[in-house]
Structure 1
Amino acid sequence: MVVQAYWSEQAACRDTHADALFADAATQKRAKILCTACPVRIDCLTEALDNRMEFGVWGGMTERERRALLRRQPHVTSWRPLIERPQPAAHRSSAGRGL
């Protein structure tokens, strides 16, 4: 039997100190860059949105960006279908934008 590893074990930030992900705006920009090529970015962002994570960079979005998204769509309870849905080209420039 093959045991599936938890998504965070595959994250690009798995060896990054937590202070880099839960810090000021300048440091958050560096964390977002790390998220860009992360193989589990969608899993990470989905977890943050579904669980209303208040702090840190998750899946390429800061807490401010996630709060704005949650305010725009307060009734969404499962974000994965929206995140995985292909976005128009104008909305692909940033993680989660256009949702």
Structure 2
Amino acid sequence: MSWNEMWANVALCKTAKPDELFVRGAEQHKAKVVCGACPVRAECLAEALDNEIEWGVWGGLTERERRALLRKRPNVTSWRELLETAKVEHEQSVGRAAV
């Protein structure tokens, strides 16, 4: 099973129609709501950033937001690695705070 298949199978949008995710303007805000509670939001965003996907809402970010992020951090070689590390660190800090 590929990395994409592992996370895509649990994405909240997997049952959504593509027309709901690949929209423009104000409709993008509706698509972003689906991403808000998705357990694989970071993996989805990493996929879009690493592959410079130009269309649709991925990981809760629109095309414009992803382009801005890519311009802001041009030296990132693996968004997947960066976001996975950040996710693990966040989960560890939440776990420590709960104790």
TM-score class, shorter-chain normalisation, is 0.7 to 0.9
What 5-or-longer segments of structure 2 have no aligned partner?
91-99
Alpha-carbon distance between aligned partners in 2 of 1:57 and 1:73, rounded to the nearest angstrom? 19
Give TM-score scaled by structure 2 length: 0.76
Q: Percent identity?
A: 55
Aligned to 2:14: 14
Amino acid at match of 1:77: T
Q: Which residue of structure 1 lines up, in the alignment, with residue 47 of structure 2? A: 47
Segments of structure 1 that go 5 or more residues without pairing to the other structure are 88-99
Give the number of the structure whose residues are more often helix, by fraction.
Answer: 2
Aligned pairs for 1:17-36 (under 5 A) are 17-36=17-36
Aligned residues: 85
Write out per-residue CA displacement over residues 9-52 of structure 1, whole angstroms, 9 at most, x where no aligned residue: 11100011111111112211011110010011111001000111
